[in-house]
Homo-oligomer: A and B are copies of this chain.
Amino acid sequence: MAQINKNFEKLPGSYLFAEIARRTAAYQEANPDASLIKLGIGDVTQPLVPAVIEAMHEAVDEQGVAETLKGYGPYEGYDFLREAIRDHDYRARGVDIALDEIFISDGAKSDCGNIGDIFAKDNKIAVCDPVYPVYVDSNAMEGRAGEYDVDAEAWTNIHYMPTTAENGFFPAIPDIHVDIIYLCSPNNPTGTVLDRDQLRAWVDYANDNDAVIMFDAAYERFITEDDIPHSIFEIEGAKSCAIEFRSFSKTAGFTGMRCGYTVIPHDLVRQGQSLNEMWLRRQSTKFNGASYIIQKGASAIYTSEGKRQIEETIRFYLENARIIKDGLEKCGLQVFGAVNSPYVWCKTPEGIGSWEFFNRLLEEANVITTPGAGFGPAGEGYIRLTGFGERPATKEAVSRIRRMLS
């Protein structure tokens, strides 16, 4: 009898977006004339920039000619892209990363999920609350999370670190020992960032405890404040304790293209083994490289033209986020994020829960948001809005919310 992975049976249903879709559809059916505006989505809406489009057309043409056909590529990605990353994402910020510390993949989600392959089952995981569900679910599948406690909405063997307005969205350094810590800055879903001192505290903890930090920097390109680190490797000592995940999804609109990368420094050694070498072995065994065409497209964002173009798109999303934040603040709401992130994290009015506020916004303002409680218990009392919409719809949504609350 083939034995299944019993950990899958412990996973609770992922009801958040399904439940939002259900409530939205029910409302729309009852109110066919209502014009709903979606501000809950995390997907991009602006087209890929011309430099990327052009590079992909060229790459497609190369694949149509024997002399320029690219077959199997390097498991770890093409050097043309790794060199661009090394120079522009790291060296330009004073961080020295070697080419073979960079692994190109089909996206940060795959890497965040698959990285568990190189770790033992016996590790204590720490995550922020609220949290991007992939960190938790992938560890639960691998048997590191313990049992799911429905009442607590939490896994018994995961250490949760609440990040709320009360603690300035800083996950407290734990007084227990943890082995693997997931940090995300700029944060999904809260839109807040960790500053240099906060990251240094975590790097020190990880080095002192031989722990490993999984640093998700998928939204780094949205950082506008000068003193906020874009990479954990800007912090001294991080190379011996951190893995960094990056994405082209929001940076360059690649959500449907699939490309990201992971940096694992050679200095990151645990139990005598180089995690860089382990990941190379994992990738060469269970992955066959990212698509050549997509890697060519990604490399185009590092040209001066490409860089200018993607910055324009990012400014557009950030301006949407600013419009939302300003509008909600004028209603007297407490609002976080938006400054270094496309995400706006808004405290619900006193005494109103996440789902209740979601419902009111849906029914009274016809605006769709995401209830913070869906990202974890400490997300209760917040809703998430995003800057990924169109400008007129974003402005209209803000006006409606202001009318509703006035």
Contact = CB atoms under 8 A, between A and B. Distances in A.
A289 to B, nearest CB: 7
B256 A120 contact: no
A9 B118 CA distance: 11
A72 interface: yes
A291 B286 CA distance: 18
Interface string A190-227: 00000000000000000001111000000000000000
A43 B66 CA distance: 13
A35 interface: no
Interface stretch (A46-54, A322-330, A345-353): A46-54
Interface in A261-304: 270-271, 273, 275, 278, 281-282, 284-294
Interface stretch (A107-115, A331-339, A378-386): A107-115
Nearest to A258: B291
A119 B117 CA distance: 14
Contacts of A48: 63-64, 69
Given A113-B287, A133-B285, 8 more contacts: A2-B270, A3-B270, A43-B72, A57-B57, A109-B286, A134-B286, A256-B289, A257-B291
Contacts of A286: 109-110, 113-114, 134, 138, 141
- Assign chain A's interface to a size class: 35 or more
A2 B119 contact: yes
Given A44-B69, A71-B255, A141 B285 contact: yes
B56 A69 contact: no
Contacts of A77: none
A87 interface: no
A4 interface: yes
A284 to B, nearest CB: 8
Interface string A358-382: 0000000000000000000000000
Contact of A278 (B4, B63, B294): B4
A45 interface: yes
Nearest to A55: B60
27 contacts: A1-B270, A2-B123, A2-B211, A2-B270, A4-B273, A5-B118, A5-B119, A8-B282, A44-B69, A45-B66, A47-B64, A48-B63, A48-B64, A48-B69, A53-B60, A53-B63, A56-B60, A60-B60, A63-B257, A72-B255, A72-B256, A109-B287, A110-B286, A138-B286, A257-B292, A258-B290, A294-B294
Contacts of A258: 106, 288-291
A70 interface: yes
A374 B116 CA distance: 30
A151 interface: no
A212 B138 CA distance: 24
A285 B57 CA distance: 31
Interface in A161-185: 179-180
Given A45-B66, A47-B66, A286-B110, A60 B57 contact: yes
A36 interface: no
A13 to B, nearest CB: 10
A256 B287 contact: no
A3 B120 contact: yes
A29 interface: no
Interface string A122-159: 11000000000110011001000000000000000000
